[in-house]
Amino acid sequence: MQASSTLTTGGSMKQRIAQLATQKASSTMSKDNIVLFGLLTFLFVAMTLFILMPLWAMMKKSVQNSEGEFVGLQNFATYFATDSLWYSLSNTFALGLIVTVVVGFLAFGYAFALTRSCMPFKGVFQLMGTAPILAPSLLPAISLIFLFGNQGVAKELLHGHSVYGLVGISLGLIFWTFPHA
């Protein structure tokens, strides 16, 4: 009842708005806001110094030749005209496609088996599926080299392919991304 009477009377509403405005003006200069402003200013300055300034220096160098003269976008045109760039780009897309398809199918099958089947030891398999997340990041790469490297114990399983090429990189990325999928 009181809320409806304060809304209908114009004087009470104006007083309430004036009171809220003075409260807001006095609360904007609190200690918390000053500390927050100082912290945000420090972070902005640090980001400018350590991220934006080096990026600016690299961008300036990218439009200069080796003598420091301005050449515009000529360096970029030369870089994009090389065949090795496009070859490496196509290799990257091929690798990404292979890893995505293999991990997608494996993860779907694994998740389907864990959630929709009556197989025993589901907890053990769930733990085995997530255990690589806890391993150090270089451990899968080192283990692949020990297994399939030039002197590896299981290099014959690759049927003549090298672990240092597309097959090995694919295996490493599949092992690395499977627990996240």
pLDDT reading at 6 higher than 50: no
- Say what the pTM is: 0.62
* Residues pairing with 64 in the sheet: 70
Half-sphere exposure of 139 (CA within 13 A, CB side): 9
pLDDT of 66-99, one tens digit each? 898 999 899 999 989 999 999 999 999 999 999 9
Angle between helices 83-116 and 122-134 in degrees, nearest 10: 150
pLDDT of 99-112, one tens digit each? 999 999 999 999 99
Which tokens belong to 95?
Answer: 């690798």
Instruction: Specify the higher pLDDT residue, 151 or 25.
Output: 151
**CA atoms of 167 and 147, how far apart (whole Å):** 13
Instruction: Specify the higher pLDDT residue, 45 or 21.
Output: 45
Quickly count: other Cβ atoms within 10 Å of residue 181's Cβ: 15
